[in-house]
Amino acid sequence: MDRPLFSRSLGTDAARPGSFHSRPASGRVATDPQRRRTVTTSAHDIFLDGLRNAHAMEKQALSIMQPQLNRLEHYPEVSALLDRHIRETEGQIRRIDEILDGLGTSASGLKDTMLSLGGSMAAVTHSLASDEILKNSLANYAFEHFEIAAYTSLITMAEQGGGQSAIPLLQQNLDEERAMAADIEAGLPDVVRQFIRLSASDQRADV
């Protein structure tokens, strides 16, 4: 009779050192210390990259908000909100710089430049629209929620990547973004009403 293709039982094979089913004598799965070190380093690197991304994101925010503020004429509440948040954003950048410096690294000049250019281009595009204030308000509201998601993720990265000391500063940034998003949402109906009123009276309504 031909010998079966698999002549050893799973039970026998499991007892062989090095087999697929082998286990340490203690019954616990062996863990590679080198792998643990790699995971920890990787989490730290992800955190550092997240910080650099957040720094570039805030640079982009400045490049979006400043042109809007410079152009506004008929929306004083929006002007005040943008002016406040520009100053907050500058503070957020300083906090991220402080965290990066404490970790012995710095922001990415390339990322900062690329995202700032992108923000400037978006501002120029909206300035050509007849409903510029509405487009900017909607875009600003969406961008604030993007920043909220970014800082929420970054705090988790800090927890996992050995950056616990940075969490209070990141939380402060997150709280400011949440407050800005709430203020934009609360003021949006008034912005829309003002836009409609100015448009109906044949006045410039876009800014």
List, for residues 137-161, the tens digit of each pLDDT value. Answer: 999 999 999 999 999 999 999 999 9
Question: What's the DSSP call for residue 145?
Answer: H
Please state, in angstroms and as integers, the Cα–Cα distance from residue 61 to each residue in 45, 77, 195, following that order: 24, 19, 24
Q: Is residue 77 part of a domain?
A: yes
Domain assignment present for 205: no
CATH classification at residue 169: 1.20.1260.10
In a domain, 181, yes or no: yes
Whether residue 9 lies inside any domain: the answer is no
How many percent of the chain have pLDDT more than 90? 67
207 in a domain, yes or no?
no
10 in a domain, yes or no? no
Which pLDDT value is given to residue 124? 66
- The string of pLDDT tens digits covering residues 105-136 is 999 887 888 777 777 666 666 665 789 999 99
Rounded CA gap, 167 and 159, in Å? 8
Cα 17–chain centre separation = 47
Contact, 207 vs 76, CB < 8 A? no
Range of the domain at 175: 43-200
Residue 138 lies in a domain: yes
Number of domains composing the chain:
1
Query: What does the alpha-carbon distance between residue 52 and residue 58 come to, in Å, rounded to a whole number?
Result: 10
- Asked if the structure places residue 103 within a domain, the reply is yes
